[in-house]
Each structure stands twice: as C-alpha cells, then as structure tokens.
Structure 1
Amino acid sequence: MDKRIFPLALGGLGLGTTEFVIMGLLPDVAESLKISIPQAGHLISSYAFGVVVGAPILIGYAAKYPPKKILIFLMIAFTLFNALSAFSNDYYSMMAIRFLAGLPHGAFFGVGTVVATRLAKPGKQAQSIAMMFTGLTLANLAMVPFVTWLGHQLNWRYAFGVVSVIGLITIVGLKFLLPSMNSLRTTTLKKELEFFKTAKAWHIIAITAVGFGGLFAWFSYITPLMTTISKFPTDFIAYIMILAGAGMVVGNFLGGILADKMRPALAGAILLSAMILALIGVFFFSENQTISLILTFICGALSMSVGTPVNIMMLRSAKNSEMMAAAFMQAAFNIGNSVGALFGGFPLEFGLSYNYPSLVGAGLAALGFLLCLAFIKKYKPVI
C-alpha cells in the first residue's frame, strides 16, 4: 500500500469499527441500557443520520482548507465523541452521542476519496479508492470481531475505548504520512452544489441509499439472526464477524477491479442482482448452519463490492464538485444504513423471526437494481 494512503486506510479502520461493532454487540447494549433489541437498532440509525447531516455541511464549510488539516480536525472530533460513547448510561444520551460521533464520518471519507484519486496513478483511481477502503474492510475482518469478543467478555463500553485509541493513532499518521496539498475546492460552494440540482445526482444517490439499505437490513440484525435462527452460541459471533469481514476484504478489491474494467454502472447492476439472490438465500436457508456461514461471506463481499462502482459513477458525473459529491455519497451510504436498520426492524416489531429483515433487504436491493438499470438506459453513452 502507498504509505501516503495508509493514514486514510487507518482512519477507515476506526470509522468502520465504530459503525459496525454495535451490530455485533446489539444484545449487550440493549441489556445494559434496558431497552429492546429493535430500540438498540435505533442507535445504528442515529449514527447513520449523523453521517448524513455531517458529510455535506462539514465539507461545505471546510473544503476551503488544505485536506490534511481537514482530515486531522475530523479525526479529533471522531475520537472525542467515540470516547464519550463509552460513558453513556441511558438510551437518549447514547442516541445523541452516536449522532455526534457520526458527523465526521462522511466528511472524512469524502475528503479521503478525492485525496486518494489525486494520489492515484492514471487509470487506477478506482483501485486507489479501494485501497483507502481497505481499512474499512479490515475493520470487519479483524477489529470488529476483536472488539465484539472484548465487549462480550468484559463490557461493550471497551469497544468504544478501542475505537478512540485507533483515532489517536490515525491523527499521528495523518500528521506525518499524508502529504500537504492545496485546497481541493476548484470552484465556489454555490457552483459545487449546482450539480445536486440535477436528476442525475439524485439518481446515483438513490441507487446507493436503497441498494445499501438492503444489506444493512440484514447486517444490522446479524447477531440475533445467527443466535436464534442459525443456533450458533453467542461466543461464536466474533468468528462469524471475521467471516463477514473476510468477505468484505474480497469484495472491496473485486469492486475496484470491476469498476476499472467495465462501466461502473454496469458493475453496480451486476453486483446488486447478486445481492438480491444472496439476501433471499439468507431468508430461506439460515437454519442450515453451513449454508448460513457461506451466505455470510457472500453478503459481506457484496456489501463492499458495490461501494467503489457507485462512488466512481458519482465522481465521473460531478466534474469540479468531486469532494462534495464524495461527501454526498457517504451520506447516501448511511441513509442506506439507517433505512436498512429501520425497515429491517419492522418485521421484528410485529413478532416475526430474525430472518425476515433479510427479506426486507432483498426488496430494497431489488429496487436499487431497478434504479441502476434505469440509470444505465438513460446515461449509457457516458457512464
């Protein structure tokens, strides 16, 4: 890995850990805060909503500054709010702190995405973005399972302490490894936002939000799915998270390669169609432990592989607005996170079993696939 991109990947490790670890610790958090598991799912949505709000606002304000300074500031805020998460004692304070912790998330990835493309070799932009997101995939391969195990063995609060330590190390890495660059803003904020008056921008955002909503409907409730439907012991959840993380590592590089080899929109459509089938498989076959584990790996791979193609779709469409576009994409991903956690919880509120969120997810993925097909038909000569 290019050492200049390493601190971006390290930041992704911290961001990915805090975003996904609560899914592995959902029952622990629910018991500690004396709330139901569906209510604990709202904490996932709260963090995601913070990303949605923070990404465009922070980028709009900070883009005039050098990206290195922006990224260090965002990581300081991220570290502070995650440290506070470890000390929350009730549902409402945890909701508020998770929202605040989410604010820097999208802006960090938004700035980092553009920085990664600027540092990339010609024709390797998608793979450079994938390298930055390696930290996110490694979070799910190693760090999330580790802190999930730590949370089960000791207390879920330790997970956020570990995340804060990662944040501190990232700040040091950004200071000494990331090269100094001039402001990435090439035009005025007003002109940057003009792209988002177009149907094309919102079409890509809709594909991302709805498509990823399908995966988060499944992943948000993976712990109770595996313990109540697949009948795995609670102590086995950390290993299941490693398996999902291994899939994400594979999927991250697969998405980067596909987006460089073919039209990103076509790659996105192919991957979304696979997502539909995988989530339907989760619904029907989760009682079989072997098949359940295979599908966990596949769904993990698909969860990351779609990310790079849709990011490239947006960056190629938003000339001179790349950083704001990348920020909006992070908002879109986390709208998907929030929508998936919310909609996936509806069947549970009505007393249905924990394999039903994946069926909701398949429906969301199908809608994302149809939106992607419509995009290809409308913009085929371009993307």
Structure 2
Amino acid sequence: MSTSTIAPASAAEASAAIVIFSLALGGFAIGTTEFASMALLPYFAPELGVSEAQAAQAISAYALGVVIGAPLLAVLGARLPRRRFLVWLMLAFAVFNTASGLAHNFGTMLVFRFLSGLPHGAYFGVGALMAASVVSPKKRTQAVAMLMVGLTVATTLGVPLANFLGQTIGWRWGFALVGVLSLITAAAVHIFAPRGTGTAGGNALRQLSALKNRQVLLTLATAAIGFGGFFAVYTYFTLTAMEVTHVPEAVVPGLLMIFGLGMTVGTILLGWAADRNQTLSIYGIMGANVLALLCYPMATGAGWSMALVGFCIGMTSSTGTAIQARLMDVAGDAQELAAALNHSAFNTANAIGPAVAAAALTLGWGLPATGYVGALLTAIGIVLFTITVLDAKRNGTGPT
C-alpha cells in the first residue's frame, strides 16, 4: 500500500479522534454535574436552609429535566445543523449550571437544576450520531463508547474534584467547574466538529415517528428497567460502605473512583464487542451484571471485596453504549429523538432503581440487599430485551 493511501486515512482518523474527544468533553461536564450533585449535597443543603432529605429534590429536579428535555429539544432542534445544535446545548448547559452555583435560595436552586437537565439527553443523542458519522460503520459503537467514556471518567475524576472544591473553597465552585467545562466543550465542538449542511433531525414530525416504533419503545423499556439495577446499588453504595462495611470516611472516595474506573473499562470493552455482535454483547453484559449484583451482598463484609465487586458492577453496567447503537439501527428517520430518549430511559432507571431499593429497605431487608434488588431489575431487563429481539426477528425490523 502506498504512503499516499495511508496518509489520508491517518489524517481522517486523527480528525475523527479530535471530534470525538471534543464531544467527550461535554460528556465529562455532564457526568460531573449529574453525579457531583450527590457529593455536594451535604454542603449546599445547610447554606440554603434545607435538610439533606429536602436537598435531594435538586437531584430529582435534574433527572426530571433530562426526561422532559431529551425528547422536547430533539424535536425542537430537528432543523438545526448538528454542530450548531450541540454548541447551543452546551452554552445553555454552561449558563444553567453556573446559575445553580449562584443560587441564594433552594427554590431558585431547584429551577436551575431542572433547567440544567434539559440539554443532557439531546446532547448525548445528537453527539452520539455525530461521533458515529465521523468513523467507519464498523467502528461506530466504539465511537459512541468514547463519547460515553467522558461521562464515566467524570465519576472517576470530575466528581472527586467537585467534592474537593466543595470541602475547600465552597460548593458553588463545583457547579462553576461544570460551567467552565461546558464553555470549553462548546468552543471545541464549534472549532473541530464537521461543518456539513445536514440538520440534526430534518423534520420534527419525522422525529415523532419514534414514538410509534415498537422496536424503539421495547429497547427503551429494556434500558429503563434493566439499568435500574445499577442505580439500586450505586445510590446506596456510599452509605453501605460506611454503615455496613465500616470503612473510614476517607476511603469512600477511593471506592467510588474504583467503581467509576470499572464503568470506564466496561464502556470501552463493550463498544469494541458490540461492533462485532451487538445482541450477544448486550446479553453478555447484562448477564454478567446480574452475577456481580448477586455477589454484592456478600462483598459488603470487607473493604477489599467492596472495591472488587464495585469495579465489576461498574464494568458490567455499561449497557447504555450498546443500547444507543441499537437505537440507531431501529429508529429509521427518527434518529435524534430515539437517541435522546435513551437518556430519558436511563434517568427513568435512576428513579426506578432507588425507589425499589428504598421499598426493600423499608421492609427491613438491610442495605446489602440492594444487590438482590438490582439483580432482579437487571433480570427483568434481560426478559424485556429477549422480547425485543424476538419481535425484531419476527417482523424483520432490526438487528436480531
């Protein structure tokens, strides 16, 4: 092969890598604010004059913003060029997160946390499509995975950094950090993203066709229930480590970093595997997640086993990458809305998982039992995915 053939290919790969890295910066900013809000809660609650239980409403407000904003903005932005749409989404994200850090009462904080959640799903949806468009079809799931790695790395680096800022110079700087990261992302996307004339969705009515596509709805149901298993455990992971495992408080950030590292490794590996066999990869990762969650109650007896099983749960909770790729396959002309709804589904899981786990705790099952709750939810997700695959096979409407 001549060097003239190799050089353009290398240049194209380098250009694609820069675009994906720019998009991943946005994933890092979004992941930082989504998870850091939990870590900053003990600091902003007393200053805003509410209990920690009341302050948790700020987390719910953000999740509600994601659920509502993902489909709404995907439809409203249907005619905008993808590059411009992504820049506007990150600028809005910068404004609302910075405003969250400037809030002087809890009511205002709730409003800005809700508004901060609105761009979340649309950014990941449109960003995933752009990432997939700059690589060969055989590598598109890996491209989506690298975008999602920005979010998982946030759980490893961004959240501890925001927590450190909250402990040292004030919780408001944790949200300011997200504002700065969002501005950097907007600038990078503006500079490096392709300037093609293609619109984000082309036609709003065409986007809404996703809502009557059975394959889209079944795939989203798989995510909404199946991923609830992860949140059933993650929500109570810190509390379990402190009250059941009795690790020193200073060790908890390290456990969370190991958990986040597992998510990063799993996302990268699943992206590679799903490009080879998407359906088998989803079955494999969800099945492994059930096993890891079943081991969790036994692992709560020691810090080292909590770290090991936490890493495994994190690694096997990376279903979202393959689900996003499947939605691209089955959504037809409603790519943006379907991709954005994926993040509505995962935030629905963020509500379902902790709620079911809380019900189990109310019954007196104990914190370690959140692992069993998580395993049950993931197993239901596998059943739903099986229904999805069988429906696709029977009707010839998607990958089987």
User: Scaled by the length of structure 1, what TM-score is found?
Assistant: 0.92
1:354 aligns with 2:367: yes
| Structure 2 partner of 1:287 | 301
Equivalence for 2:181? 166
Shift of 1:35: 5.0
| Residue number in structure 1 paired with 2:313 | 299
Deviation at 1:287, TM superposition (A): 2.5
Per the alignment, do residues 343 and 314 of structure 1 end up closer, same or farther by CA in structure 2, a change over 3 Å counting? same
Counterparts of 1:240-279 in structure 2 under 5 Å? 240-262=255-277, 264-279=278-293
**Deviation at residue 277 of structure 1 after TM alignment:** 2.1
Partner of 2:126: 111
More divergent stretch after superposition (68-77 vs 226-235)? 226-235
Distance 1:361 1:96 in 2: 31
The one of 217, 220, 224 equivalent to 2:239 is 224
CA contact (8 A) 2:78 2:202 kept: no
* 2-structure distance, mates of 1:333, 1:198: 19
Letter in 2 for 1:294: L
- Answer 1 or 2: higher relative contact order, Cα 8 Å, separation at least 6: 1
1:308 aligns with 2:321: yes
Q: 2:336 aligns with which of 302, 310, 323?
A: 323
Q: What does residue range 19-168 of structure 1 map to in structure 2 within 5 Å? A: 19-30=34-45, 32-33=47-48, 35=50, 37-168=52-183
Runs of 4+ in 1 over 6 A off after TM superposition: none
Segment of structure 1 superposing worse, 243-252 or 195-204: 195-204
> Cα RMSD (Å) of the superposition?
2.2
Letter of the 1:274 counterpart:
A
- What is the SS of the residue equivalent to 2:377? helix
Q: Following the alignment from structure 1 to structure 2, what is the Cα–Cα distance between the partners of residues 352 and 86? A: 38
The answer on 1:340 being equivalent to 2:361 is no
Structure 1 residue runs of 5 or longer lacking an equivalent are none
Alpha-carbon distance in structure 1 between the residues aligned to 2:51 and 2:363: 13
- Which structure would you say has the larger Rg? 2
Q: Whole-Å Cα distance in 2 between the matches of residues 101 and 127 of structure 1?
A: 28
Of 88-97 and 125-134, more deviation after overlay is shown by 88-97
2:361 equivalent to 1:374: no
CA contact (8 A) 2:215 2:391 kept: no
Q: What are the Cα deviations for residues 257-298 of structure 1, in whole angstroms up to 9, with x where unaligned?
A: 121111x23321221122122222223321221111111111
Aligned partners of 1:349, 1:30: CA distance in 2, in Å? 24
Q: 1:82-107 deviations in whole A, cap 9, x for unaligned?
A: 11222335544333322111000001
Contact preservation (8 Å) 1:46, 1:338:
no
Question: Which structure 2 segments of 5+ residues have no match?
Answer: 1-13
Cα separation, partners in 2 of 1:26 and 1:226, compared to 1, 3 Å: farther
1:114 match: secondary structure = helix
Worse-superposed segment, 8-17 or 92-101: 92-101
User: Which stretch of structure 1 is more off in the superposition, 337-346 or 167-176?
Assistant: 337-346
Aligned-pair identity in percent equals: 34
